[in-house]
Chains A and B, each alone.
Chain A
Amino acid sequence: MSRQLFTRRSVLGAAGLGVAGLGAAMSPFANRSNASPGGGAALDPGCYSCSGPAPAYLRSYRQSASIPTPREQTLVIAQPPTVVFDSFNPYIPNGMAGSYGLDQVCFEHLFYFNFETGELINGIGTGWEYNADYTELVLRLNPNARWSDGTPLTADDIVFTVAMLQGNASLFTASGVINNVESATAIDPQTVQYRLLRANPRYHYAFIAGIIGAGFLVQPKHIWENQDPASFPNNPPVHAGPYVLDQVLPDQFMYIWRKNHDYWNIANLNCQPEYVIVRQEQPVDLEVQEFQRGNLDTGGPLTIDYLNQQVIKATDESAILFPFSDPCPRSLFPNFDGPSGLMAIPEGRWAVSYMIDRQVAAEVLSQPPSQPAKFPWAPYVSNEQWSVPEIQQQHDFTFDMNRAAELLDAAGATLVDGRRQLNGQPLNVQIITPVVVTDPGYQIADMLRLNAAELGLEMTLSSLQGGTHGDVHAFGDYDINAQWMCGLVFDPVQMYDDFLMRDYVPVGERAISNLNRVQLPEFDEVVTRLEAADPADPANKPDFDRALELYFEGLPVIPTAQTAFSFLYNTKTWTGWPTPEDRYGIGASWWSQFRFVIGRLQPAAAAQ
């Protein structure tokens, strides 16, 4: 129901769900059998078929899809609600109709990173090089690149976009350019030279679509140059991707994208669906029926939740369930300046960590089941180089209530009349979360609350709606924020630099980064040094290890469980989806990398 609207939006916006685990051992389905401590039985999907004959609505009725295009030529995707229909401007509030296709099929990014395979795929770009001290960067473009109106896409467009962002600080993402780039110049139509404000071996991350999309989007100069970018609706959008906008039906909450037969890269990415329709999702009961009738191909993260996916799978063997491990582990962010004062103390933060039963968090509370967090990042093959077991073993994320009690005592949070006090004040640790009560993230925080109560530590947990959570979070009026930790795509500094003292502002002022007011001077020093260091250079590895060690000591964020999702694909109209056996690409239908899945789809009729 619409109850999920806000969570789902925030999930999409901020979490950037993600990437499946590499390797079959990681499959969230693998360890379901031992997923039931505490007497809870694991769900047996087979049980649905044995509960009686198929319900009436499945037996005979078949209602065709309510779409204005021929079904056999159309890919139908459901997504969480939107109300944006007029604007395709990514630099202004809600300009980018979220997951409604613009980023997936209409934009063309410079590069794409495929987490599933570790492969970097060229978009408009063909490569980049830094100079020796990382103050200059040369970006090369594909000479064939063309906008959807036929105009060639050249270095001029990049230079124009950089200048536009530099000149308009009020545009979203402009700060990424303003704070990093001194100038961009076109050397020739396919080469751009960036001069950076300071040594930065990571500026190219902005060119690569990692989690969902990329930080930097090229705009066509000939369309934008005489427009005010703060109000230009960019409608219809002119971009360089494989599809163009066919029409928007606001009354139907529906976007229709039409294949661009003149797509410049059609030799490499020739998508078979003539149309891609992204429409608003409906109540889950209805979506299950739509899926079973073949009217829906795939959906958003929760369009059809894991339980109902299993119901479908029980009656329809051809449906594909694709387990997906998100890049953003569920985490608790202790606010060092929080009102209780307990989170300023390292022992206090570690006590919280020991009060979390990560096994239960991963295998009982998460649906589909996931894995307990060991490191502050997802267990991808690409992240393995950063995960040092020796360091982790000294600071284990185990569940140990006695240890938690000791640490609380050590932190000075003493037990008086059955309730813990700090400096004579009864403690009340306030947990906030942007997710709804049904979300595993909430349940994990609630487990912490209940466990803390056993040790006499009072905690309150409130689920706040989008905007309100953003406010409380930014202004720092909380002790623990239960959310997810995002950002790491290529190396840990992308995540570490959310905890730096240079971004520190006191409680009561709006923080932009370092929202949990972390103050760890030594960690700070190492990370700042790493910011100018090339992550690929083995000489810097000791510093990365040192940073990890300091991370564990200071614990600026407490990961709990990996975030897992399961995606459902319909094979009635289209085949060629990624499967647990063939994880060739990103299966999340709202990620820009999803175009490569669309590119593999074949009509089901032809396959038979």
Chain B
Amino acid sequence: MAFINTWRQSGQFRFGVIVLSLLILMGVFHQLLIRLHIGDTDPRQIGAFGILESPSWAHPFGTDPYGRDWLAMNLLGLPSSLLVAGIAGLISTVIGAVVGFVSGYKGGKTDASLRTMTDMLLVIPTLPLILTLGAYARGLSVLELALVLAAFSWPFAARVIRSQVLSLRERPYVELSKISDLKDRQIIFQDILPNMMPYLGIGLATSSVGAAFALVGLTIIGLAPSGVLDLGTLLSLALEWGALSLQQWTLFFAPMTLLILLFLGAAFISQGLEQVYNPRLRGQQ
């Protein structure tokens, strides 16, 4: 419902959804696409093609110094980036939503203590901690990596959602429900939750972008646990090889463009939702 509504009203939302859907489709069908592109060759196989070939029809993004097709490598890296971003975003939104809900709805001491805790976590700079963990962790999987990133990003979502719940709680129909002695659960699920959906969407998009970037940060600094081949890894490889002096621009631009599209897609979705549902911004259009 909210989706169709927003789709109709916001061009930004449409743009974001289209970009992100394309990326997700590419991610989901990456194996098929790789097969279509280079046949049965293992995309990671060293020396499968010539070394450092310039972009051509056969290799639109050229090949890397190990003789691997760079387009296939990017298709291989995309799902990891999407998965980490998606899972981390989802988990942190769920945690954030629960904490934010309880905090905003219950109020009083529960609210105060949860809020203090959230604030404490909020002021701890996340990136250094994630870097530390990355440096110490031993062979994390995509899921574990996503969990780690989520653990550090939920306080932000909690704070956003709490303030929304606070404002919803004061609305007449919720007040009415309270007076009419409905159970908490009913109030939450019937009155508050439906109105919260767009905000959860915003939270999801924001924390996914955050997680995707944190992963890039990890790989760029070189502290990422190995075994996960994501777009950030490809980008840092291109930098390490010296894309400029080797005159292989595509090595650098391919993962960069995909990552930027990923960020933009998620960002425009959240912006679109906000535009339609946030009264403060409604005047924008």
Chain B residues in 8 Å Cβ range of A432 = 138
Q: Are A41 and B51 in contact (CB under 8 A)?
A: yes
Residues of B within 8 A of A436 (CB): 222, 226
Question: Which residues of the partner chain B approach A463 to less than 8 Å between Cβ atoms?
Answer: 225-227
CB–CB B50/A464 < 8 A: no
- Residues of A contacting B220 with CB < 8 Å? 1-3
Q: How many residues of A contact B (CB 8 A)?
A: 45
Once the chains bind, are B245 and A311 in contact (CB under 8 Å)?
A: yes
**Would B136 and A465 count as touching, CB distance under 8 A?**
yes
Contacting residue for B222 out of A2, A311, A442, A443, CB 8 A = A2
A437-B233, A465-B135 known; A284 vs B46 contact (CB < 8 Å): no
Q: Please tell me if the beta carbons of A40 and B47 are within 8 angstroms of each other in the complex.
A: yes
Determine whether B129 belongs to the interface, using a CB cutoff of 8 Å to chain A.
no
User: Which residues in B have their C-beta under 8 angstroms from that of A51?
Assistant: 54, 247
Report the bound CA distance from A298 to B123 in whole Å: 44
B264 interfacial contact with A, CB 8 Å: no
Q: Is there an interface contact between B138 and A1, defined as CB atoms closer than 8 Å?
A: no
In the complex with contacts A40-B51, A462-B139, A467-B135, A285-B245 CB distance below 8 A: yes
Query: Once the chains are docked, how many angstroms separate the CA of A311 from the CA of B54?
Result: 15
Q: Complex: how many Å from CA A305 to CA B243?
A: 12
Query: Which of A41, A43, A52, A305 is the most central at the interface, judged by chain B CB atoms within 10 Å of its CB?
Result: A41
Q: Which residues of A contact B240 (CB under 8 A)?
A: 1, 3-4, 284, 438
Give chain A nearest CB distance to B281 CB in angstroms: 39
* A378 close to B (CB within 8 Å): no
The verdict on A542 contacting chain B, using a C-beta distance below 8 Å, is no
CA distance A36 to B66 in the complex (A): 11
Q: Is the CB of A307 within 8 A of B246?
A: yes
Instruction: Mark A579-605 against chain B: 1 for CB-CB distance below 8 A, else 0.
Output: 000000000000000000000000000
Is A365 close to B, CB under 8 A?
yes
Min C-beta distance of B55 to chain A, whole Å:
12
CB distance from A367 to the nearest CB of B (A): 8
Tally of A-B Cβ pairs under 8 angstroms? 116
A365 & B46 in contact (Cβ 8 Å cutoff): yes
Complex interface residues of chain B between 205 and 258 (CB less than 8 A to chain A): 219-223, 225-227, 233, 236-237, 239-247
Q: Is the CB of B46 within 8 A of A40?
A: yes
Q: How far is the CB of A368 from chain B (nearest CB, A)?
A: 12
Within the complex, the shortest CB–CB distance from A246 to chain B, in Å, comes to 32
Asked whether A472 is an interface residue with its Cβ less than 8 Å from the other chain, the reply is yes
The digit string for B48-64, where 1 denotes a CB below 8 A from any CB of A, is 11111010000000000
Whether a CB of chain B sits under 8 angstroms from the CB of A468 is yes
Bound form: Cα–Cα A36–B47 in Å: 7
A70 contacts partner chain B, Cβ-Cβ < 8 Å: no
B65 at the interface (CB under 8 A from A): yes
Residue of B nearest to A478 (CB): B138
Give the Cβ gap from A44 to chain B, nearest Cβ, in Å.
9
Contact B46 A443 (CB under 8 A): yes
Contact flag A4-B51 (CB < 8 Å), given A285-B243, A305-B241, A472-B138: no
A4 vs B220: C-alpha distance when bound (angstroms): 10
CB closest chain-B residue, reference A5: B222
Given contacts A55-B247, A284-B242, A462-B226, contact A1 B52 (CB under 8 A): no
The distance in angstroms between the C-alpha atoms of A43 and B138, with both chains bound, is 35
Given known contacts A39-B49, A40-B47, A311-B245, what 5 new A-B pairs fall within 8 Å (CB)?
A: A42-B51, A51-B247, A285-B245, A364-B47, A443-B46
Chain A residues proximal to chain B, CB less than 8 Å: 1-6, 36-43, 48, 51-52, 55, 283-285, 288-289, 305, 307-308, 311, 364-365, 367, 432, 436-438, 442-443, 460-465, 467-468, 472
